[in-house]
Amino acid sequence: MRIDGQCHCGFVTYEAEIDPDDVAICHCTDCQQLTGSAYRVTAGTARENFRLTGGEPKLYVKTAENGRKRLQFFCPNCGSPVYTTGTDEDADEVGIRLGTINQRRALCPKSQIWRSSSLPWIHDVGTLPGHERD
């Protein structure tokens, strides 16, 4: 599937080819902190299928407990997380942050990881009262 997207302010833009079945939720505590939310949703693709088309993102390198490095790219203006990749054997894969994808309504997560870190209320969200608009 061909996608495109941008950060909140539109400075960092990209286009990519993804497999809609490679969309996943991560509940790890790093993703919770990096998003300021309960989890992160990412569409994965091979590096050669991802191309920046706009401004240059800023890089933050997170070193995991196992020593592997995760390269977190975000907009230097608005701070939106845009994509991630790794080093060494992880460098061939790019994880695009779902909220930045223009076609995000057509994408549904197919798997979850780090469920042991998921917040206990996460599966009850659908039962909360709500409004269609604020």
**14-32 tens-digit pLDDT:** 999 999 999 999 999 989 9
CA atoms within 13 A on the CB side of 73: 20
What number does CATH give the domain 2-118? 2.170.150.70
| 29-67: burial string, b at 16+ Cβ within 10 Å, e else | ebbbebeeeebbbbbbbeeeebeeeebebeeeeeeeeee
**pLDDT mean across residues, the chain:** 94
Q: What is the pLDDT of residues 60-80, one digit of tens each?
A: 999 987 888 999 999 999 999
Above 90 in pLDDT, residue 106?
yes
pLDDT attached to residue 125: 86
- Cα–Cα distance, 39 to 115 (Å, whole number): 10
How large a percentage of the chain has pLDDT more than 90? 81
Closest to 9 measured CA to CA, from 103, 76, 85, 73: 76
pTM of the full structure: 0.92
Which long-range contacts does 119-122 make (Cβ < 8 Å, 24+ apart)?
A: 119/27, 119/32, 119/38, 122/27, 122/38, 122/39
